[in-house]
Structure 1
Amino acid sequence: MLQNIRDNSSGIIAKTIVGLIAVTFVITGVNFFSGGDADTIIAEVDGIEITQRQFLNKLERERRQLVSVLGDSTVIDEDLLRHSVLNALIEEAAATGYSEKLDFGVTDLLVDNLIVGLPQFQIDGQFDVKIFDRALAQMGMSRLSFREELKRDLIEYQVKGAVETSTLVMPSEVERLNALQNQKRSGELLVIKSDQFLSGVSLAPEAVSNFYDAKKSSFVTEESVILEYVLLANDDFRDQVSVTDEALRAAYETEVEQSANESERRARHILIASAEGALDKITDLKAQIVKGADFAELATRHSDDIASKDTGGDLGFVPKGTFAPEFEQALDKLAINSVSEPVKTQYGYHLIELLEVRSRPVDPFEVSAPRLREDLMERETDRMLSDNLEEFSNMAFSGSLEDLKSLYGVQIQTTEAFNRSTASGLFANDDALRRVFDGALYDGELNAEVFEVEPGLWMTFRIKEFKPKAIRPLVEVRDEIADRLRRQKAIDRAKKLAQKVERHWQDGRSGLPKGAEALETNPFSDLDRNGTDLLSRDALSVAFAASAPMDGKASTLVREIANNEVVVARIDSVNFNAGPIADNNLKSALTQLKKNQEGSEFWSVVTTTLEVNKR
């Protein structure tokens, strides 16, 4: 039935379906969180509360994203991450508070339309709730929390957009940027590779142990687990279900009987969206229809329902209960080919004409049979899953995974070792992680309480191996520390030599000083930002980061770059005569830069003037 509505719906029908989907968010919006109703307030921004759950959820998502990029959770600065997440939540709250002062807002309908329209949640162009739930589970979010976060993001974009659209770029600014962007520089570069000093680096006997003692906290491993687990879903009962021809025929006859009592109506409408003068306009259109004007022509010319106006307002055949309640009530009172008085709904004012009424059509048995067979199979396996869950849970509580395998035929699966940051798949959502890292299960004596890890998929697990937080022993990290110290000493030597070269050049001398004679420099003349094949992008950036020469004296700069290299640059002259502006993207780039700068300044003012209370 829902598929038929999707296929035939447009305009206001589509909006109504979105509304129905919104109801499911409210009804089942907490399907991935459990625990008490109380939630600790950790900060308040002008009366807008930030809860511990919000903070922990965002923290976990940001941590996972960093791990996916960096590949190593040990390099994450946890204090910096927590500080950044809290500041981000404060800025979101500031945007929400400021948007209320500006009377900005985002309707639930807009948010729901955006959700059902996201390709990530669709199959063959249609919203699929199972894909939606699976994606949210992987993000560790509930339906309502995702919806609310999306709404906050949209409000924040609105406020930031208002700031960005006020940004102005003057022609003189573009000219200055053009001169800077297209300048040409002449001078000399020296790239010093620190690896050449490694062979001459030695460490004091106590250097490694001293570094280890001072930095022990950086060698702490996270708690990690290896799990054995089993899953139970309705598919596990499919081989126990047989759909007979008699049951199939009975289901078809029931559908035929129901269709006889279910009618579908075809209607068309003209929508005038809510605005000043909307009622007067719709009343005038009704008067024109009464005088003989063509309904379809008026709909095409005047209707604000862009999805149906091109078909003369035709909404197709749909079952009762599809439209907004006011729309349905007006339609119930209409005779075929009659037109309603103006009808007010949340979308505006409508004129409605009832065109046809028919019994809901039913496909022949041969066409319906595969669908009905699958429906009956699904219904029966759902029933068996529901009937067996209590026993399955009791056995998980008092028995073993082997007992569950023996009785239900489920497979015992084993994970790789993982911690909170590296959890993936079914164990990546917050509810699963909370259950996995429950101290009562660490000894491996108990199975976890059976829980729904995804819609329709139930799990229990036992910890096969648990490793607590621990400082890696010195013997394990000795070589790692020694390599780090040796490389740092080599870089220090490279920097020292670079500074010697810099002083040599600052004194106005040519060539290279003693100790650097064997190195080869890279002289350049009228070099632009595109560089040459002889210079890496990092080395080129040093040449353009150095200040311009002053009073006829060359400028210099020393900087460490990638690959453990140190660059010293000498700039003898800079040519700012860039000529006419040829790059149309230059103004766009400058505009974006100013938007970012002014936006940052604006939010700095907003957040500093708000009352922020951290608890």
Structure 2
Amino acid sequence: MLQDIRDKSQGIVVKIIVGFIVVTFALFGVEALVKSFTSTDKVAKVDGTDITRAQMLQQADLQRRQLIAMSNGHVNPAMLQENVLQKNALNELIQGALIDNQIASLKLGVSDGQVNSYLLQNPQFQTDGKFDQTKYVNFIRTLGFTPLAFKNRVRESILSQQLERGVVNSDFVLPYQVDSIAQLQSQERSFDYVKFSLADQSEKTRVTDKELKAYYDEHKNEFKTPEQVKINYVELTAADFANKVKVTNEDLQEAYKAFVAGLPKEERKASHILIDNTHTEKQAKAILDKIKAQLAKGVSFADLAKEYSDDIGSKKKGGELGYITQGTMVKPFEDALFSMKKGQVKEVKTKFGWHLIKLEAIKDPKVPSLADKKAALEKQIVAKKAQEALFAAHENISDLAYASDQLKPLANEYGVKVQTSNYFSRDGGNNAITSNASVISAAFGDTVLKDGQNSDLIDLGGNKVVVIHLADHKPESVQSFEQAKKEVTSKLVQSKAEAAIMAQAKAAETAPSTKWTSVKLAKRGQDEIASLAFTMAQPEGKPVMDIKKLDDGDLVLIRLNKVQAGSDKASDRQEQAYGQYLRETESKMNLTSQNEWLKSKADIETNL
């Protein structure tokens, strides 16, 4: 399909279309151009508000990107199928339209300042506690947004949260509800049980070839080799650009400055004597003068601190504060300390009172020379520039992938090889490329699988990208009996063993020879069998029996004899947890009810 477009791109029809685009763009702007292609292609209408196919496809693409980002590329490929994404996207857009209408009717609003504040304070967009424009732009780019479009999304999200909080904050929990949960949690149950092992029964189970063939013929569709593809691909990493970047002297100087700035700062060892604010200024000055006079006579600073200082934290240690870096003390104290010479004593006033500070020692950071750090810095600069070069090459890589129906031109452009994968299904392959959800989605997408074209650039993360092309395709096929025999045997043995232990369990319900294991006053969740006993109805006059399945496939016949009502009083911590659980549960139910109510009274049409 894409090749047909390329082949015919010089035709008169294309020229007319291009002419239309140019004129429309010049006269009315890009918005009119977009509307001319999308306004009539509606997939739904909600109370008169149209939802276009373009909106649905954009939302589906956003969902795909979010799924991949949240799962670090290891999302279930079935969740990335176009029909699944589009269906979910349309449902979200319909729900969004309903909420937007509700927000409008309630006249809720959010200012530009609130949106900006949210973005500036979001830790996801910060580096060292400050807003990072580069991080912000890179993030929204991965989601396919422009800054303006993303801010509008944030605005919509804040408005939706306002509506949700209005529902959630109206919920409340009564004390008797918390008490009921506490009583249920402390309930105890007495029961008898007997287990039937699936593994043991499977060991005893025999099947004939005739049974196997009959089972295969009846369940052929269960024994299929899934659809598989083999792909050619070009993988590009930052390392592929390392030999193409240069390190200038200016680069080295900037990197060295940044390195030095990140080294530990100068540290100053200080002691002080504090005369706190319980004294008047006149009293404090008199004490300080007295201390200074004794210092002049040779009395040690430490002894004077022990005698006069009001700082109980350092008094007993002779006023010693240890090593101090800039930014850790109040400003007047710090300014004085970092202006002093070793051994000097200086007086300063702070909000804590009057201090005599003594500078005991200065510890300068050891700064390696540029020559010592040159090799390491060059390596860092090359790595950073190579990453930037790869990112800058994204557009060219995409253009080369689109311009050809082969991978060789792309590989030649960047001096790398075209590689070939093993066959893999929609569940993915066994290496980093073929197990990547985006690669799997592209490999089984129409562009690659049906049209035989190169994929778009796929970002693998970790400074790696890939473009793929179909090498071979194997449709789904039913396995022959011989191919499937091992799996048929396993399934038939399990089926017969399950039927056998179920019959044994049913017979044991009334058999006088059944050997029961008794459990008295079991607590909720103490083990798997006890948990199953707590799923059974309470006995009324006589024991209740039921057959339950364990996680390992074994069956257990449980005879529930007695239910002991809970009486334990919940602790304050438990009451808080139960109350929170009930509030969250009610909030979810109320939000669901609200959404269903909005949907029930809306006029919704869908064309998908």
Scaled to the shorter chain, the TM-score interval is 0.5 to 0.7
Question: Cα distance 1:385–1:497, how it changes in 2: closer, same or farther (>3 A)?
Answer: closer
The answer as to whether partners of 1:228 and 1:414 remain within 8 angstroms in 2 is yes
Question: Which residue of 2 is the match for residue 210 of structure 1?
Answer: 217
Q: C-alpha deviations, 1:498-553, integer Å up to 9, x for none?
A: 33344x3xxxxxxx556xx4xx533122222152xxxx33x222111111122x22
Identity of matched residues, %: 17
Question: Cα distance 1:108–1:149, how it changes in 2: closer, same or farther (>3 A)?
Answer: same
The answer as to whether partners of 2:407 and 2:418 remain within 8 angstroms in 1 is no
Pair 1:221-2:213 in alignment: no
Which SS does the other structure have where 1:500 is aligned? helix
Which SS does the other structure have where 1:562 is aligned? coil
Pair 1:480-2:469 in alignment: no
Q: Distance in 2 between matches of 1:453 and 1:115?
A: 25
Q: Distance in 1 between matches of 2:133 and 2:421?
A: 28
Q: Distance in 1 between matches of 2:80 and 2:231?
A: 23
Question: Which residue of 1 is the match for residue 554 of structure 2?
Answer: 565
Displacement of 1:214? 4.3
Displacement of 1:563? 1.0
Which SS does the other structure have where 1:196 is aligned? helix
Q: Gaps (5+ residues) in structure 1?
A: 1-29, 31-35, 250-365, 505-511
Q: Distance in 1 between matches of 2:103 and 2:567?
A: 43
Question: Cα distance 1:71–1:598, how it changes in 2: closer, same or farther (>3 A)?
Answer: closer
The amino acid that maps onto 1:195 is: A
Displacement of 1:163? 1.7
Question: Which residue of 2 is the match for residue 309 of structure 1?
Answer: none
Question: Which residue of 1 is the match for residue 51 of structure 2?
Answer: 49
Q: Map of 1:538-577 to 2, 5 A cutoff?
A: 539-550=529-540, 552-577=541-566
Q: Map of 1:601-612 to 2, 5 A cutoff?
A: 601-612=593-604
The amino acid that maps onto 1:471 is: S
Q: Map of 1:166-315 to 2, 5 A cutoff?
A: 166-198=170-202, 199-200=204-205, 202=207, 204-215=211-222, 219=224, 221-222=226-227, 224-231=229-236, 236=241, 239=244, 241=246, 243=248
Question: Which residue of 2 is the match for residue 292 of structure 1?
Answer: none
Q: Distance in 2 between matches of 1:488 and 1:77?
A: 33
The answer as to whether partners of 1:208 and 1:482 remain within 8 angstroms in 2 is no
TM-score by length of structure 1 reads 0.55
The answer as to whether partners of 2:411 and 2:417 remain within 8 angstroms in 1 is yes
Which SS does the other structure have where 2:534 is aligned? helix
The amino acid that maps onto 1:542 is: L
The amino acid that maps onto 2:502 is: K
Question: Which residue of 1 is the match for residue 279 of structure 2?
Answer: none
Q: Map of 1:64-463 to 2, 5 A cutoff?
A: 87-107=91-111, 110-111=114-115, 113-115=117-119, 117-128=121-132, 131=135, 141-143=144-146, 151-198=155-202, 199-200=204-205, 202=207, 204-215=211-222, 219=224, 221-222=226-227, 224-231=229-236, 236=241, 239=244, 241=246, 243=248, 389=396, 393=400, 397=404, 401=408, 408-410=414-416, 422=428, 448=454, 461=467, 463=469
Cα root mean square deviation, aligned: 5.5
Q: Which moved more, 1:415-424 or 1:567-576?
A: 415-424
Question: Cα distance 1:430–1:181, how it changes in 2: closer, same or farther (>3 A)?
Answer: closer
Which SS does the other structure have where 1:205 is aligned? helix
Question: Cα distance 1:75–1:426, how it changes in 2: closer, same or farther (>3 A)?
Answer: closer
Pair 1:586-2:581 in alignment: no
Question: Which residue of 2 is the match for residue 341 of structure 1?
Answer: none
Question: Cα distance 1:120–1:221, how it changes in 2: closer, same or farther (>3 A)?
Answer: farther
Which SS does the other structure have where 2:212 is aligned? coil
The amino acid that maps onto 1:521 is: W
Q: 1:466 aligns with which of 464, 472, 496?
A: 472
The amino acid that maps onto 2:493 is: R
Question: Which residue of 1 is the match for residue 521 of structure 2?
Answer: 526
The answer as to whether partners of 1:224 and 1:419 remain within 8 angstroms in 2 is yes
The answer as to whether partners of 2:533 and 2:558 remain within 8 angstroms in 1 is yes
The amino acid that maps onto 1:45 is: V
Displacement of 1:590? 2.3
Q: Distance in 1 between matches of 2:79 and 2:206?
A: 26
Question: Cα distance 1:418–1:498, how it changes in 2: closer, same or farther (>3 A)?
Answer: same
The answer as to whether partners of 1:234 and 1:384 remain within 8 angstroms in 2 is no
Displacement of 1:565? 2.2
Q: C-alpha deviations, 1:422-455, integer Å up to 9, x for none?
A: 59989999998786556675699x8738869699
Displacement of 1:558? 2.5
Q: Distance in 1 between matches of 2:454 and 2:81?
A: 32
Q: Distance in 1 between matches of 2:443 and 2:122?
A: 32
The answer as to whether partners of 2:436 and 2:460 remain within 8 angstroms in 1 is no
Question: Which residue of 2 is the match for residue 495 of structure 1?
Answer: 502
Q: Gaps (5+ residues) in structure 2?
A: 1-30, 32-36, 254-369, 371-376
The answer as to whether partners of 2:539 and 2:561 remain within 8 angstroms in 1 is yes
The answer as to whether partners of 1:194 and 1:564 remain within 8 angstroms in 2 is yes
Displacement of 1:410? 4.3
The answer as to whether partners of 2:110 and 2:159 remain within 8 angstroms in 1 is yes
The answer as to whether partners of 2:193 and 2:556 remain within 8 angstroms in 1 is yes
Aligned residues: 436
